[in-house]
Chain A
Amino acid sequence: MKIKLDNLKKDEQISLKLEAVYEKFGYRKFKMRSFEEYSMYLSYSDFLLSKNIITFSGLDGKLLALRPDVTLSIIKNTKASKSNTEKLFYNEKVYREFSKEYKEINQTGVELIGNINLYSYAEITTLALKSLECIGSDYVLDISDMAVVGAIIDEIEPSDSEKAVLYEFLKAKNIDDFLAYATKKEISEEKINAFCALIKVSGGEKEFDAFVKDIAISEKISTALNNFKAVLSVLSKQDGGDKINVNFSIYGNADYYNGLIFNGYVQGVPKAVLSGGRYDKLLQKFGKEVGAIGFAVYLGEIERYLENDVPSTDILVLFKEDADIEELIKAVNDLISKGYSVRVDTAIPEDFKFLKLFVFDNGCLVEKKND
């Protein structure tokens, strides 16, 4: 039987394309059950996008949760070690709060756990770029480095609560409020310039280079910058590398992420459709001394902005209830065996698209031309 991919919804088509891309790079599909013990999410709630989780009691009385996230389940189950790297992808439903309501959201993603090296960075960003390409023709992959951002923020020497304020300025690209804050806190001009440069960076390798001088105000920052530049140089030269945009305003929770973090945008979708990064620190919290990098594609986010064609059926057959049903079944099966999709009804249904209309009359099908 012929399966028509065109009849799938756009997000379903995208998710099949994504799976094909990940399989080509040797990633294995990981399937998991929909429930997890609630206690796991409670321990790592800061990692989750939303802290509201649907819970219920299991048959043994343990509190279970409908999975709000996939990465934590993968980490819990991984057998990866420094000498045994796992490359996985998933295509699952997750359940979490979205616009103040619980929603079932399709999520696809990739995780590379084990020995992380420069090739891993290149491979994961390639997969991220190819994923974005599956979604739209014009796309951008914003990348940042937690080590660079952390080093500059430490240089300003803020208290814990002030750190959060500085991250807010960076996240919102809010230079004016930072300047007001810096004047109040008597921060040196050199540090002000460095932080403002960090906010302003937006562009490829060349554009970023123009800001490096302003940012590199200490040994620690210079080291972090040099490491980032070495990675950026490799990433920019790969296929689609011109779509990489350095932007330090990406937010990654410093308790979980370290190193490279990134967000993907597609023209026409107002929010990031892909997000990920290196998260060794999260694995450490699970007591696993290995590296990890990965990303998730938010198909639920995309779905609302894609225009789906209303799927159409090839043939609509109308019949009267006193017709010879046995002959009708035969005629319909005949059409289906020829490869057509057929809907049989007594009247034309509302909001229904079809290409041809047949009327079953006197034991045979007669085509009615559409007006």
Chain B
Amino acid sequence: MINIALPKGRLGEKVYKILEESGYACPEFTKDNRKLVFTNEESGVTYFWVKPSDVPIYVELGAADIGVVGKDILLEQESDVYELLDLKMGKCRMCVAAKNGFIQDTSRPLRVATKFVNIAKKYYNGLNREIEVIKLNGSIELAPLINLSDVIVDIVETGTTLKENDLKVYEEILSISTRLIANKSSYKFKFKEICAIKDTLSRVINND
């Protein structure tokens, strides 16, 4: 039996759809109900819907053998898991953004507002730039507008939100996409099953 942690939302549903069509269906799964665990003995899979940022925790601690999660969350949490496949979905960029016309004052620490504290720290450490991190949980774009921070580090998909708030991408840190991850211990004991799911997903994604 393979336990799969899927992120609640559009991405999780998209990945489930592929698995469903490839023989890993769980008929009850898509029904609109409040159940959290779905098992199909025949195809040997159990699915859980979990909060996207919790997926690596379920997988690292072995409650799920494999999971689907964004690279941003993996990098932020520095999860100790195998990253088996780039699912090439949910593509976006982790960027530094600032107000249009922003000029950096290099004589003082840079004030950075972000949800991704570790990613921001790692990036600026690499540049040897001293920063002051302001951890926010939402509406990050507001910070530079009201002078709470100089810049923000956040995910940029289309750039529309930035544009509407008179902000622009200042630097690109890295590209983000959705990944298939596996627990290191499960990978030894359920090697064939995990590889079969990985290969199935890989085939479908690369044929798209």
Contacts and interface: CB of A to CB of B under 8 A. Distances in A.
B contacts with A: majority SS: mixed
B184 A267 contact: no
B83 A173 contact: yes
B82 A172 contact: yes
B112 interface: no
B62 A265 contact: no
Interface in A246-274: 249, 265-267, 269-272
Nearest to A173: B82
Contacts of A271: 62, 80, 184-185
A176 B188 contact: no
Given A176-B86, A177-B83, A177-B86, A270 B60 contact: yes
B81 interface: yes
A270 B61 contact: yes
B84 A173 contact: yes
Interface in B39-75: 60-62
A177 B179 CA distance: 10
Contact of A270 (B82, B83, B185): B185
Contacts of B86: 176-177
B184 A245 contact: no
Nearest to A138: B189
Contacts of B61: 270
Contacts of B60: 270
A66 interface: no
A173 B180 CA distance: 11
Contact count band on A? 10 to 19
A202 interface: yes
A270 B191 CA distance: 14
B197 interface: no
Nearest to B60: A270
B149 interface: no
B168 to A, nearest CB: 25
A338 B186 CA distance: 48
Contact count band on B? 10 to 19
Interface string B68-105: 00000000000011111110000000000000000000
Interface in A159-187: 172-174, 176-177
A contacts with B: majority SS: loop
Nearest to B81: A172
Given A172-B82, A174-B83, A176-B85, A270 B184 contact: yes
Contacts of A111: none
B114 interface: no
B92 to A, nearest CB: 15
A118 to B, nearest CB: 26
A138 B185 CA distance: 11
A267 B186 CA distance: 8
A4 B170 CA distance: 68
A175 to B, nearest CB: 8
Nearest to A267: B189
A55 B82 CA distance: 35
A142 interface: yes
A269 B82 contact: no
B185 A265 contact: yes
A269 B62 contact: yes
Given A173-B83, A177-B86, A249-B82, A272 B189 contact: no
A140 interface: yes
Q: Which of A173, A177, A270 has the most CB of B within 10 A?
A: A270
A361 B85 CA distance: 71
B197 to A, nearest CB: 15
Interface of A: 138, 140, 142, 172-174, 176-177, 202, 245, 249, 265-267, 269-272
Interface of B: 60-62, 80-86, 183-189, 191
Sort A-B residue pairs by CB-CB distance and give the 10 closest, nearest first: A270-B62, A176-B86, A174-B83, A172-B83, A140-B188, A173-B82, A265-B185, A267-B189, A270-B185, A265-B188
Given A176-B83, A269-B62, A272-B185, 8 more contacts: A172-B81, A172-B82, A173-B82, A174-B83, A202-B191, A265-B188, A266-B185, A270-B185
8 contacts: A140-B188, A172-B81, A176-B86, A202-B191, A249-B82, A267-B185, A270-B185, A271-B62
